[in-house]
Amino acid sequence: MNDSEVIRTRRLTRYFGRRAVVRELNFAVPRGSVVGLLGLNGAGKTTTIRMLMGFLEPTRGSCEVLGRNSRNFQPEDRSRIGHTVEGHFLYPWMRVRECEHFGRQTHPRWDGTMFERSVRRFGIDTDAKVSWLSRGQRAGVSIASTLAATPELLILDDPALGLDPVSRRALNETIIEFCESGERTVLLSSHLLDDVERVADRVAVMVDGRLLVDTTLDDFRGRLTAWVLEMAEDPTLVHDVPGLVHCRPLGSRWHLTIANPDHESASAIERLGAAAIEPVDVTFEDAVLAYLSRSRVDHSFYSGAES
């Protein structure tokens, strides 16, 4: 494992019964990056995270986190990783202040100021009982506790699920503050593409247990081009377009997203015989949706995990 990599998986695979949920994952997360892990529900994101944390044994392959095989994690290894799960478990009878004391006693490198600042951003009264808090505020307490333990790596599994706009903004601000030194790393699974575009600098896309994209955000966008074609027939039924990721109807027109287009793609598009061909901008959302909307797997690209 390269010293600058915080996470490295090698052909990581997990079956549940006869179903492969994670397939041959070669995934690398460089130190200091914020990686958005994207995929539909059931794509294998949570299973991957559970294997990274050493909570679940891989069927085949391996994963190393912070230089150690996740299978052999000791408590001190886990204390270097901050992990929050969907739902944010907390003791409902505790006051927020007591959650802080509890954390201080159970974590050797507790940062009380970090806790205070994070909790304040979520607009939480430290005298309040956890059971009185809104879902977004409970998420705030959970994230504040995780960050105050000063982990080197933060793994957030869908932290924004069900958050109100204020808590969402607070969450984004907290992630930015956490990673500002450039030494700490975040793996963030999320469905909120606008938030991922803000806070992440790398993106990983999983489809059906496979990692189709693992690269920087700008590279991801830069490799995709889109065209809108005016034609009656479904262009995919006419002939193949090299690099085609996704084709969807747009009223009476067709929106084509193409990865790494070259002369062949361009001439294939021209030969489709459309009445009009218009190149259009690719938004981050377009790019992600193009991948998530299809399950056929051929035009993937990596930059991180190649070796």
Partner 1 sequence: MRIRVIPGSGAAIYRQIADQIRRGIASGKLSIGDPLPSVRQLAKELVINPNTVAKAYGELTRDGVLETRAGRGVFVAARRNVFSHAERLRRLDEAIDAVISESITLGFDRDQTLTRLRNKLDALQGAKE
Note the residues at the interface with partner 1 (CB under 8 A).
33-34, 169, 172-173, 176-177, 179-180, 182, 193-195, 197-201, 217-218, 221, 280-285
In the complex, minimum distance from the CB of residue 17 to partner 1, in angstroms, rounded to a whole number: 39
Based on CB atoms, which residue is closest to partner 1, 202 or 210? 202
Strands 202-207 and 185-189: unpaired
- Least CB distance to partner 1 at residue 140 (A): 16
* Choice between 179 and 245, CB closer to partner 1: 179
281 vs 306 by CB, closer to partner 1: 281
Q: How far is the CB of 270 from partner 1 (least distance, A)?
A: 17
The arrangement of strands across the sheet holding 5-16 comes to: 19-30, 5-16, 60-65, 68-69
Closer Cβ to partner 1, 161 or 280, answer by number: 280
Distances (CA, A) of 213 to 42, 62, 88, 248: 17, 19, 28, 20
CA–CA gap between residue 132 and residue 138 (Å, rounded): 9
DSSP string for residues in 122-167: TT--TTSBGGGS-HHHHHHHHHHHHHHT--SEEEEESTTTT--HHH
Helix (H, G, I), strand (E, B) or coil at 113: helix
Ramachandran region of residue 67, left (φ > 0), alpha (ψ -120 to 50) or beta? left
d(Cα 126, Cα 258) in Å, to the nearest integer? 51
Q: Tell me whether residue 23 or residue 184 sits nearer to partner 1 (CB atom).
A: 184
Shortest distance, position 199 Cβ to partner 1, whole Å? 6
> Considering beta carbons, is residue 180 or 306 the nearer one to partner 1?
180
Indicate the angle between helix axes 165-179 and 112-121, nearest 10 degrees.
150
The least CB distance from residue 236 to partner 1, in Å, is 24
> Of the candidates 68, 87, 53, 51, which has an alpha carbon nearest to the alpha carbon of residue 209?
51
Q: How far apart are CA 110 and CA 129, in angstroms?
A: 21
Give 236 or 283: the residue with its C-beta nearer to partner 1.
283
Task: Find the helix packing angle between 135-148 and 96-106, rounded to 10°.
Answer: 20
The Cα 40–Cα 207 span in angstroms is 7
